[in-house]
Amino acid sequence: MSEPVLLSNHVAPVISREMLARLDVSGPRYTSYPTADRFVEAYGPAQYIQALQQRVEGGGAVGGAATPLSIYVHIPFCESVCYYCACNKVITKHHERAQEYLAALRTEVELVVEQLGRGHSVSQLHFGGGSPTFLTDDELEGLLATLQSAFRFVPGGEYSIEIDPRTIDA
């Protein structure tokens, strides 16, 4: 084991060869939660409903209150491919394709509300994709309105959106 290195009055962490060997493995991509390796055929609608019901019954509670939800909204559409992107995406210039997808998202939100009840708190919301900026301003506002009518967003939460700078203006 080597000695810590002093840098600007801060001690750098010691990284041993054993630690490097242990951590030198492939891991799941960070862009979605649960991560892609958690999606299996055995997990279907019944298991999803059971997980939501467990949350209602206290499985997601801390100190008597349900922990806030984290929501990831995947918008899979892009006008052109980004070669650094490895996300599930549909390359198209046909923006009308988003309508059916947005309708399905609204249905999914309502199905979750049927299980959890309206107004569960949310502390994290991330729009990713593809590119959420594939949607028009009105479509994004409508999607956000759907989420705001279903959930309560806590002040100071983590709220973000991925953008494709090639296809958005000020």
Q: What share of the chain is helix, strand, coil (3-state, %, to 5)?
A: 40, 25, 40
pLDDT at 35: 65
- pLDDT over threshold 80, residue 158: yes
**Could you report the per-residue pLDDT of 110-145, keeping only the tens digit for each?**
999 999 999 999 999 999 888 888 899 999 999 999
- Closest to 102 in 3D by CA, of 122, 74, 130: 74
Distance between CA atoms of residues 28 and 45, nearest Å? 23
H-helix or E-strand containing 126?
Answer: strand 120-129
Angle at 68 between CA 65 and CA 72, to 5 degrees: 160
pLDDT in tens, 36-64: 677 788 888 888 889 888 888 875 555 55
Read off φ and ψ for residue 167, nearest 5 degrees.
-125, 20
- Report the alpha-carbon distance of residue 77 to residue 134 in Å, rounded: 6
pLDDT at 152: 95
State pTM to two decimals: 0.72
pLDDT at 9 over 70: no
> What digits encode the pLDDT tens for the residues 59-98?
555 555 678 999 999 998 888 887 777 777 888 888 899 9
**Token digits for 12?**
């750098």
Whose tokens are 């055995």? That residue is: 42
* Residues sharing a CB contact under 8 Å with residue 134, sequence separation 6 or more, in sequence order: 75, 77, 78, 79, 95, 98, 164, 167
CB 158 within 8 A of CB 124: yes
Average pLDDT over residues 150-166: 90
Task: Name the β-bridge partners of 161.
Answer: 127
The single residue listed with the structure tokens 């206290």 is 58
- Which of helix, strand or coil describes residue 130? coil
What stretch of H or E contains 169? none
